[in-house]
């Protein structure tokens, strides 16, 4: 439940518009799974003592604590608190039509022009990269989405605190990653059978998710938190 990410769904919809979507989805899935699994196994079996501090911690309190955080986050999302309160304000533009502030020396203009050209070339290269059919594109976004998040580290802490045998801990981590990767696996398999319907279905789901309001998103996050709290209380 905590692995549901609208951004990942949007990226999968983008990959399905490519000329070779299966190849891109396979690369996206393999790179993301490899990075997440490598980080997870390293934490579980190499840095597990320093990661959690005390390996005798019971997993149930961690589940409850993580659930409480999600409930609070859901409450903030569902409220009318402006999330852009601390956003950086745009700088005032130079007034058009003259004035002392509008006078700029030619030497200054010459010094400013090259960075603007370099920035233009940079964005042109980025746009070319995004439109290319290179597997590096799908690999890069697979690596970006696989970067460890707070919920992933919380999962690792719960697995470590369970004190289960190493094989069970590894299988628990692999199960989580396979379920999280289902967003890419299901469209990939469906595309082989019905490519047109798969594209339409993924686009519709993506549009539906992005059209949800803050209140609805907060309700979903809060529900996940309540489920985790309930599971943790049962395990106490």
> Which pLDDT value is given to residue 90?
53
> Which pLDDT value is given to residue 219?
87
For the chain, percent of residues with pLDDT exceeding 90 = 7
The whole-number average pLDDT for the span 88-105 is: 52
The answer to whether 14 and 144 have CB atoms below 8 angstroms apart is no
The structure tokens listed for 160 are: 């470590």
> Which pLDDT value is given to residue 208?
82
The answer to whether 146 and 27 have CB atoms below 8 angstroms apart is no
**pLDDT interval class at 129 (50, 70, 90):** low
Reported pTM: 0.63
> Which pLDDT value is given to residue 3?
66
> Which pLDDT value is given to residue 52?
62
Q: Is the pLDDT of residue 168 over 90?
A: yes
The answer to whether 39 and 203 have CB atoms below 8 angstroms apart is no
| Separation in Å, CA 216 to CA 79, 114, 223 | 11, 47, 11
The structure tokens listed for 157 are: 């802490």
pLDDT in tens, 169-188: 999 999 988 888 887 788 88
Count each helix (H run) and each strand (E run) in the chain, helices first: 11, 0
Average pLDDT of the chain is: 77
Angle at 41 between CA 39 and CA 42, to 5 degrees: 65
**pLDDT interval class at 123 (50, 70, 90):** low
> Which pLDDT value is given to residue 109?
47
> Which pLDDT value is given to residue 38?
92
Q: Please give the biggest Cα pair distance in the chain.
A: 75
> Which pLDDT value is given to residue 115?
53
Q: Is the pLDDT of residue 29 over 80?
A: yes
Closest CA to 228 of 74, 12, 15: 74
**pLDDT interval class at 37 (50, 70, 90):** very high
Q: Which helix (H) or strand (E) holds 3?
A: none
pLDDT in tens, 11-23: 788 888 888 888 8
């Amino acid at each position: 439940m905590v692995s549901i990410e609208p951004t990942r769904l949007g990226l999968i919809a983008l990959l399905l518009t490519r000329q070779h979507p299966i190849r891109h989805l396979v690369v996206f899935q393999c790179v993301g799974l490899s990075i997440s699994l490598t980080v997870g196994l390293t934490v579980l079996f190499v840095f597990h003592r320093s990661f959690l501090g005390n390996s005798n911690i019971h997993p149930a309190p961690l589940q409850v604590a993580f659930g409480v955080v999600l409930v609070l986050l859901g409450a903030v999302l569902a409220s009318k608190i402006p999330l852009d309160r601390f956003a950086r304000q745009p700088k005032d533009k130079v007034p058009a039509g003259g004035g002392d502030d509008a006078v700029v020396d030619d030497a200054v203009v010459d010094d400013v022009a090259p960075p603007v050209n370099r920035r233009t070339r940079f964005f042109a290269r980025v746009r070319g990269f995004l439109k290319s059919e290179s597997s590096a594109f799908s690999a890069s976004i697979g690596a970006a989405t696989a970067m460890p998040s707070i919920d992933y580290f919380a999962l690792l802490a719960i697995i470590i605190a369970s004190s289960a045998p190493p094989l069970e801990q590894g299988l628990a981590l692999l199960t989580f990653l396979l379920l999280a990767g289902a967003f890419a696996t299901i469209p990939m398999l469906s595309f082989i059978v019905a490519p047109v319907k798969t594209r339409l279905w993924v686009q519709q789901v993506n549009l539906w998710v992005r059209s949800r309001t803050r209140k609805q998103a907060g309700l979903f996050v809060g529900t996940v938190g309540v489920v985790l709290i309930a599971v943790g209380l049962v395990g106490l």
